[in-house]
């Protein structure tokens, strides 16, 4: 992962706030986009959430107390924004698999112009949709985004021990799902 120069950012922010903010967007937009997209699934939703995330970052920057790194702070905002978006639109994302109907996630992704996943990628999304929120987040952050446990712990506010347990359970469930389907 490309290193973000926090010191340079804050020096620039103190003199040219807008220029510094543009630099921050360019540095984080792609990583945050895919992080959000894995939570909200469609491009339209991810775009909405990502824009709101950066608006919040802009208004939050003057009060940023530097107790955590900027990197974990922006990830925390993005994660919270995506999760609250999901909660607001809960009905749309509800999973009907319990009623024996086809998984909504698969239908949603098949109708999304910006999803070009193969069958195995669709299966993975189906498996992920059956996981509890935190297990799904931890699995994606650890397995696909290659984050360290201490970073995930700071972003999600969960102990490292609990994260390891969540990841272990998530991997087991996904393996089982892929094996049986």
For binding to other proteins (CB under 8 A), which residues are involved?
18, 21-22, 25-26, 29-30, 33-34, 37-38, 43, 47, 50-51, 54-55, 58, 109, 114-118, 120-125, 143-145, 171, 174-175, 178
CB 104 within 8 A of CB 87: no
Min. distance of Cβ 139 from other proteins in angstroms? 10
Enclosing H/E stretch for 29: helix 17-40
Nearer to other proteins, 20 or 157 (CB): 20
Min. distance of Cβ 99 from other proteins in angstroms? 26
Min. distance of Cβ 21 from other proteins in angstroms? 8
Nearer to other proteins, 117 or 161 (CB): 117
Dist. CA 40–CA 46, nearest whole Å = 6
Would the CA dihedral through 152, 156, 160, 163 be positive or negative?
Answer: negative
Would the CA dihedral through 80, 58, 37, 112 be positive or negative?
Answer: positive
């Amino acid at each position: 992962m490309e290193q973000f120069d926090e010191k340079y950012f804050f020096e620039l922010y103190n003199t040219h706030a807008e220029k510094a903010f543009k630099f921050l967007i360019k540095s984080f937009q792609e990583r945050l986009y895919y992080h959000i997209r894995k939570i909200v699934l469609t491009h339209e939703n991810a775009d909405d959430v990502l824009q709101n995330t950066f608006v919040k970052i802009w208004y939050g920057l003057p009060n940023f107390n530097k107790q955590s790194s900027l990197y974990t702070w922006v990830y925390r905002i993005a994660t919270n924004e995506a999760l609250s978006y999901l909660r607001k639109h809960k009905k749309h994302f509800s999973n009907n698999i319990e009623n024996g109907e086809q998984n909504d996630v698969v239908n949603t992704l098949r109708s999304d112009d910006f999803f070009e996943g193969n069958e195995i990628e669709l299966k993975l999304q189906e498996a992920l949709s059956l996981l509890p929120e935190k297990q799904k987040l931890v699995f994606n952050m650890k397995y696909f985004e290659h984050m360290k446990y201490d970073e995930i712990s700071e972003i999600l506010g969960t102990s490292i021990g609990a994260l390891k347990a969540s990841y272990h359970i998530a991997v087991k469930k996904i393996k089982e799902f892929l094996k049986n389907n």
